Amino acid sequence: MTRPLRARFDPAAVRHNHSVARRQAGSARIWSVVKANAYGHGLLRVANALADVAEGFALIELDGAIALRAAGFRQPILMLEGFYEPDELAAFAEFALTPVLHCRAQVETLLAAALPTRLPVYLKLNTGMNRLGIDAAELAPVLAALKTSGAVAGITLMTHFADADGERGIGEQWSRFQALRGVGGYPVCAANSAALLRYAETAGDWVRPGIMLYGSSPCPDTESAAELGLRPAMTLTSEILAVRELKAGDRVGYGGIFEAVAPMRIGIVACGYGDGYPRHAPSGTPILVNGRETKTVGRVSMDKLCVDVTLLPDAGAGAPVTLWGEGLAVDRVAAAAGTISYELFCALSARVPVIESE
């Protein structure tokens, strides 16, 4: 028998979530954000799920973009950090990739390159995130240079929100972006999932949802994925390998950080941080056994974690376990572990077999 841990991928859920983004986006077109191996779900798996509906794919990795072209995808591809070295530009031209330009040096490199085709470009404006992006003072000369260049096929202005999911919202950044857009009449692209769902007025010409496509809420503190009508694209399941009776005072796992205060029964589950389950998930993190919710106990180890099955007398060796996904929102597990679903998805280990559901 093989180790029972599996990640089940549901392409219909991704398509459904894309349709939620579609409804919200109005007339804007949608870049499906598939960076980081489609948030751990598998780049080609997600691209195939969206093949008929995706208007474009956005990612960071050049090898991923080339893999999409090799697999026959013809949609525009947006490279969210552009290029890093001048010698990558030949591939941008060959594979028709749209670079984000976030600084003057990138702009100058592009303008100096002798490319066989013109490239559409995204010009990233810093409106308050203060990571990448051109500042207000640089915008006019950069735009002037791009406009007159023979290397450029079209310019879209973009920005990225720091707190679309939080209390601060987008107000300040959005008004700065509006001011910078000026009278140029350029197409714009600003919204991530949170902005698309909470501030539809930012949809502009293109939107860039990522996390919502995978069925997790971008703002789980205020609205759950279910409330947003999103469906989980990944369900991580395993089984109980063995059960054990504890008496009061018995300790569980490394460090003995959990101590039974009364007799109890625990199940040992085949899943650990070596699979991507967060080691910092404390005792009490929600988990399903036999479809019923219970809690983890003790420290998560590399290959195993423990669950309280005291109130689940039917749960023996072989009982099915859901770590997250259908029946248990990944956002609840992430919150218990003090992180966000993005990190859990991205951390899914290569040793976990992914099964595609019909």
Kindly write down the DSSP assignment for every residue of 250-272, as one continuous string.
-EESGGG-EE-SS-EEEEEEE--
Q: Is 276 in the site for ligand PLP (CB under 6 A)?
A: no
Tell me the number of residues near ligand PLP by CB under 6 A. Answer: 12
Q: Kindly report the length of the chain.
A: 358
User: Given the complex with ligand PLP, which of 128 and 267 has the nearer CB atom?
Assistant: 128
Q: In angstroms, how far is the first alpha carbon of the chain from the final one?
A: 23
153: part of which helix (H) or strand (E)? strand 152-158
Q: Is 33 in the site for ligand PLP (CB under 6 A)?
A: yes
User: Smallest distance, Å, CB 36 to ligand PLP?
Assistant: 8
User: Smallest distance, Å, CB 38 to ligand PLP?
Assistant: 11
Q: Is 286 in the site for ligand PLP (CB under 6 A)?
A: no
Site string for ligand PLP, 154-173 (x = CB under 6 A): ------x-------------
Number of H helices, E strands in the chain: 11, 18
User: Given the complex with ligand PLP, which of 4 and 56 has the nearer CB atom?
Assistant: 56
When CB distances to ligand PLP are compared, the closest residue is 210
Q: Which stretch binds ligand PLP (CB under 6 A): 115-123, 188-196, 324-332, 349-357?
A: 188-196
User: Smallest distance, Å, CB 198 to ligand PLP?
Assistant: 11
**The only residue of 98, 126, 156, 193 in contact with ligand PLP, by rule CB under 6 A:** 193
Distance CA 8, CA 251 (A): 33
Instruction: Check if the beta carbon of residue 219 is closer than 8 Å to that of residue 326.
Output: no
214 is catalytic: no
For the CA atoms of 168, 170, 175, 179, the dihedral, rounded to the nearest 10 degrees, stands at 130
330: part of which helix (H) or strand (E)? helix 330-336
35 is catalytic: yes
Instruction: Check if the beta carbon of residue 27 is closer than 8 Å to that of residue 187.
Output: no
Q: Which stretch binds ligand PLP (CB under 6 A): 64-72, 187-195, 220-228, 276-284?
A: 187-195
Q: Which stretch binds ligand PLP (CB under 6 A): 143-151, 203-211, 254-262, 273-281?
A: 203-211
For the segment 204-263, give every residue that binds ligand PLP (CB under 6 A).
Answer: 208-211, 218
- CA-only gyration radius of the chain, Å: 23
Distance CA 98, CA 116 (A): 15
User: Given the complex with ligand PLP, which of 8 and 160 has the nearer CB atom?
Assistant: 160
**Nearest residue to 132 (alpha-carbon basis) of 94, 97, 81:** 81
User: Given the complex with ligand PLP, which of 209 and 278 has the nearer CB atom?
Assistant: 209
User: Given the complex with ligand PLP, which of 189 and 240 has the nearer CB atom?
Assistant: 189
Instruction: Check if the beta carbon of residue 128 is closer than 8 Å to that of residue 162.
Output: yes
Instruction: Check if the beta carbon of residue 307 is closer than 8 Å to that of residue 321.
Output: yes
Instruction: Check if the beta carbon of residue 213 is closer than 8 Å to that of residue 33.
Output: yes
For the segment 56-85, give every residue that binds ligand PLP (CB under 6 A).
Answer: 80
User: Given the complex with ligand PLP, which of 9 and 345 has the nearer CB atom?
Assistant: 345
- 211's tokens: 């996390």
Instruction: Check if the beta carbon of residue 173 is closer than 8 Å to that of residue 162.
Output: yes
Set 35, 273, 304, 342: catalytic member: 35
Set 124, 247, 254, 273: catalytic member: 254
Kindly write down the DSSP assignment for every residue of 272-291, as one continuous string.
-GGGT--TTPPTT-EEEETT
User: Smallest distance, Å, CB 310 to ligand PLP?
Assistant: 38
For the segment 84-103, give every residue that binds ligand PLP (CB under 6 A).
Answer: none
Could you list the residues that contact ligand PLP (CB under 6 A)?
Answer: 33, 35, 80, 160, 192-194, 208-211, 218
Catalytic center residues: 35, 254
